[in-house]
Amino acid sequence: MSACVEIVIEDERWSAFGLEVAAGRAASATLTHLGLAPDLFGLVVMGCDDARIAGLNGEFRDKAKPTNVLSWPSEERGSEFAGEAPERPEPGTVEEPASLGDIAIAYETCTREAAEQGKDIHDHVTHLLVHAVLHLLGYDHIDDDDADLMEETERQILASLGIADPY
C-alpha cells in the first residue's frame, strides 16, 4: 500500500532526483507509522526552485525568501492541547483517497542545506517530506511541547526508513 502522491515538476532537477519515489516513500512511511492506511490518502508535491518557493513563501507567509519546504493542509487538524497528537483525518477510499493537502519543495535550498550539514541529499529531502506530511496531518513546532512531539515522531519514521536522526 502506498499513498496517492501527485507530483508536479516545475524544476526538472527534481525528475532526475527521483522526487516521485522519495515523496511516495515519505508519505507512506509517515501514514503507516501513524496507523493510517496510506492508500486511503492523497497529497500533491510540487518540486520547484528557490525563486518559485520564495514567491509562495511571500504570498502565504509574508516572508519573501526561499525556504526548503512549505505545506498547505486541506483542513485544520492540530490539537488544541500542546504536545498532544493531532486529530486523525477521515480516510477516503482507494478509488477516491482523502486529500491531505499540498507540499512545495525547493531544489537549491535542499541541496545547499544537505551540503552544509554533511547529510546525504536523499536522506535530507526524505526528512523534509516526512516533516511536511506531518504538517498536513496537523503536527506543528510553534510550541516547545508540539516541537518535541513532532521531532520524536520524525525520528521514529526516519529510523523505520533506515535514516539517521537528523537532529
Tell me the DSSP string of the chain: ---EEEEEESSTHHHHHTHHHHHHHHHHHHHHHTT--GGGEEEEEEEE-HHHHHHHHHHHHS--S--SEEEEESS----SSTTSPPPPPPP--SSSPEEEEEEEEEHHHHHHHHHHHT--HHHHHHHHHHHHHHHHTT---SSHHHHHHHHHHHHHHHHHTT-----
Cell numbers at 107, concatenated: 531544489
The span from the CA of 53 to the CA of 31, in Å, is 25
Is 131 annotated to bind ligand? yes
- Is-contact 53 106, C-beta < 8 A? yes
Q: Does 135 count as an annotated binding residue?
A: yes
Task: Check whether 33 is labelled as a binding-site residue.
Answer: no
Give me 39's grid cell.
492508500
Binding-site residues from annotation:
131, 135, 141
Binding-site residues from annotation for Zn(2+):
131, 135, 141
